[in-house]
Chain A
Amino acid sequence: MTIMISVAGLLSTTLVLLLWYPKSIRTGRLADLYTVDSARTLSSLDQKSLDYKLLASGLSIKPVTFRLLCIAAGIGGAVITWLFLPGLPAIVVGGIVFYVPGAWLNDRVKSRGRKIDQLLPIGIGRIAAGLLAGGSVPDVLQQVGESLEIEMTNPLTPEFVLTASEMRIKDRVEALRSLAARSPSVSLANLAQLLEGYTEAGGRAYTGVLMDISMRVQQILIARNRAQAKAGDSLVSAKVLPVVLVLILIYLSQDPMVRASLTAVPVQIVIGVAMAAMVAGYVIIRSMIMEAV
């Protein structure tokens, strides 16, 4: 009971800190974070810094708050598990819960690039059509960005809109190079280079070529996205098995003898190693799937 009170106190303190910590910019909904301002801020930050990761993942908290939350989550996870399964497994769970937010954050940053890759085939198709119809590159980028925004909030729109506005106020090639440099997706950087070639070639004569190449790039991206989605199906069992194991352990622990065995050191070591192995396995399998195509 005393432990529960301590945990409740710890979590309440973290929550108060999270809510009342002074913020320089108050941002609103998660959807608002995919804005031109955030895209501009991201381009000025180091991609390895926690500031960049938090902004790119759409979290409106400061790095210190995030670290505090990780520690609180780790301690909270360990204490709560300790109530049901005291000993080594609780410490392992604490370690895993401490590690998970960081891994989740890294994944969210990478997923920004993946989301862009998923939308890019549609974007490329519309850009090519817009240019073929005689639009200028900034106008077409602006319109395509806005059209994508109508369907759903996405990270590609602010990149297009920011590039369009930069192209209007400074050198066009410079603006496209800036898009390529800050892009979290290699394909988007390639598109920027393609548009740079289009701008340098003077437009009109190059439109047909751009159309052909855009179609091929579109096909490549569609095939890659489809293959990645197909490969991702294999991850289902990696998510289901740990849940099944926990459910079986809860069911078995209703037996007094099994419950007593859960506190034995060798059993705890095995459970702890199994938990760590499953987390490591998940990370390895996920990276294998992501790198497969």
Chain B
Amino acid sequence: MTALIYLTGIAVFALVIYLTLELAPATPTGRLAETLIPADGVVLSGWRKSLSPLDKPVSRWTPAGLLRQTRADLYWAQIGDRWNDWNEVQFTSLRVALAVAGFGLGLVAIGEPVFALIGGLVGFQYPAMAMGGIARRYRRQFIAQLPEYVQLVSAQMSANVSMEEALRRTSQAQSLAGKWMRRVLQMAQGRDLIEQMQREAQEAHLPELIGMSVQLEFIRRGTAQQELMGQLATSIAADYIGTAEQRAEKIGSELVIPMVIFYFLPFMVTLLIVIGWPIMQNMGGM
């Protein structure tokens, strides 16, 4: 009877894999598809190659919101030269694979479904937490450096330099904003710079950047570009000053969870075990 249950389980698993891999819509082929697919045809290697069978079902079944969030996080992690060449589907495949591995490990090592679920959850969440942490760090660094960068652009434009040239010159800045601008300039070869900036801003999913790129588009169309740029620089600086104050106020509440996990819990557990151990020893001896 037990063997029958295992056989049924294996058969269901095989059926699900078959249906997911074979009946999910195939990647479009043909001349048009080849034209539309980016020409950077990267040959997959390592983890990404091993996980590639999962890519198709993952891209089909993962909610669009989750993929969008992962894409934005990957964007910032890649600005910091981490998780290079990974895309959101490959990263989600990694999460799924680690979730399955964590579930399996929990089931084999402890044998309790609850622990298996916890293992699966940890496997699913860990890569997102690790990559999300890196992305958050670079996103914040960027937000902190953006106002000063805009001042530099404004200064260049005040010296009668065109907006494109000002952006080109200030891209040499060693800040993260300068690095981002170098990336935009590299991607904008043969295209409109401001439009490319808007595309990158949307991909980065950063409201400050989207707002700035839209305003730059307006400034480009306007006549008094220097004055408008000066106003933009002033408003971005004022926004940053207000936000910095707010974040300083909020940091206390953000630290509550790390304080509990890293300080209060170890503190309480240490005291309890130091005081409780002699009592337990005595009770055991009785």
Q: Does A181 contact B (CB under 8 A)?
A: yes
Q: Does B240 contact A (CB under 8 A)?
A: yes
In the complex the two chains form, is B278's CB within 8 Å of A270's CB? no
Closest to B253 in A: A234
The DSSP consensus for interface residues of chain B is helix
| CB contact under 8 A between A197 and B270, given known A227-B248, A238-B263 | no
Q: Which of B262-286 contact A (CB under 8 A)?
A: 262-267, 269-271, 273-275, 277-278, 281
Q: Does B252 contact A (CB under 8 A)?
A: yes
Which A residues are in CB contact (< 8 Å) with B266? 273-274, 277-278
Q: Does B78 contact A (CB under 8 A)?
A: no
Which B residues are in CB contact (< 8 Å) with A212? 230
Q: Which of A234, A248, A262, A293 has the most CB of B within 10 A?
A: A293
Q: Does B261 contact A (CB under 8 A)?
A: yes
The DSSP consensus for interface residues of chain A is helix
* Closest Cβ–Cβ distance, residue A253 to chain B (whole Å): 8
In the complex the two chains form, is A197's CB within 8 Å of B174's CB? no
Task: Please tell me the number of chain A residues within 8 Å of chain B, measured between CB atoms.
Answer: 63
- Selected interface stretch from B48-56, B139-147, B201-209: B139-147
| CB contact under 8 A between A274 and B269, given known A213-B154, A291-B141 | yes
Task: Please tell me the number of chain B residues within 8 Å of chain A, measured between CB atoms.
Answer: 54
Which A residues are in CB contact (< 8 Å) with B263? 237-238, 241-242, 277-278, 281
Cα(A291)–Cα(B247), bound, Å: 10
Which B residues are in CB contact (< 8 Å) with A209? 155, 158-159
In the complex the two chains form, is B245's CB within 8 Å of A223's CB? yes
Q: Does B258 contact A (CB under 8 A)?
A: yes
In the complex the two chains form, is B155's CB within 8 Å of A194's CB? yes
In the complex the two chains form, is A241's CB within 8 Å of B267's CB? yes
Which A residues are in CB contact (< 8 Å) with B275? 252, 258
Q: Does B151 contact A (CB under 8 A)?
A: yes
Cα(A249)–Cα(B254), bound, Å: 29
In the complex the two chains form, is B241's CB within 8 Å of A220's CB? yes
- Selected interface stretch from A22-30, A128-136, A182-190: A182-190
Cα(A237)–Cα(B93), bound, Å: 40
Closest to A289 in B: B251
Q: Does B156 contact A (CB under 8 A)?
A: yes
In the complex the two chains form, is A190's CB within 8 Å of B149's CB? yes
Among candidates B151, B249, B262, residue contacting A277 with C-beta atoms closer than 8 Å? B262
Q: Does B152 contact A (CB under 8 A)?
A: yes
Closest to B230 in A: A212
Q: Does B23 contact A (CB under 8 A)?
A: no
In the complex the two chains form, is A285's CB within 8 Å of B154's CB? no
Which A residues are in CB contact (< 8 Å) with B271? 245, 248
> What are the 4 closest A-B residue pairs judged by CB atoms, nearest first?
A281-B262, A274-B266, A227-B248, A261-B277
What are 16 A-B pairs with beta-carbon distances under 8 A? A186-B173, A186-B174, A187-B148, A190-B175, A194-B155, A213-B155, A220-B237, A223-B245, A248-B271, A264-B277, A277-B263, A281-B259, A285-B262, A291-B137, A292-B140, A292-B254
